[in-house]
A = this chain, B = another copy of it.
Amino acid sequence: MPHQTHTSTAMNDCIQQCLACYTTCQQTALTHCLELGGEHVEPTHFRLMIDCAEVCRSAAALMANGSAFHAAQCVVCADICRACAESCKRVGDMDNCVQACERCAESCEAMASGGGRSATGHTAGTSARAS
């Protein structure tokens, strides 16, 4: 299966963390939060969960594409995941989301700094923060 070797183990792990965080945030927002109501559907919190899901999905996509710009997307993803984890801690009863967001943030941060070479040998996008 030669095409498996194109993408590094670290990148494949980051794709998995992004998709796990996507699923957890999307699922928790649209079932748990909507059903509990109250603080769980407070606009800033709820929006953050949906934003987080969107950006995780997109970061996973750029990595799967072997994109030269995946590092820049991982920076945005890590920032949103950190904010979402904080918001979920504050609201409470959302341990799954907190965990998924923190794991995804760590993985994206590693990918954006050290792991900044794409599957196809290009360096990371120009807008990645120098870190």
Residues of A participating in the B interface, judged by any CB pair closer than 8 Å = 1-4, 6-7, 15, 19, 22-23, 26-28, 30-32, 34-35, 37, 41, 43-44, 46-48, 50-51, 54-55, 57-58, 60-62, 64-69, 72-73, 75-76, 79-80, 83, 93-96, 119-120, 122, 125-127, 129
Contacts and interface: CB of A to CB of B under 8 A. Distances in A.
Nearest to A24: B64
Given A19-B19, A55-B62, A61-B26, A126 B79 contact: yes
Task: Please classify the interface of chain A as helix (H, G, I), strand (E, B), loop, or mixed, using the class held by over half of its residues.
Answer: helix
A18 B80 CA distance: 21
A57 B57 CA distance: 9
Contacts of A57: 57-58
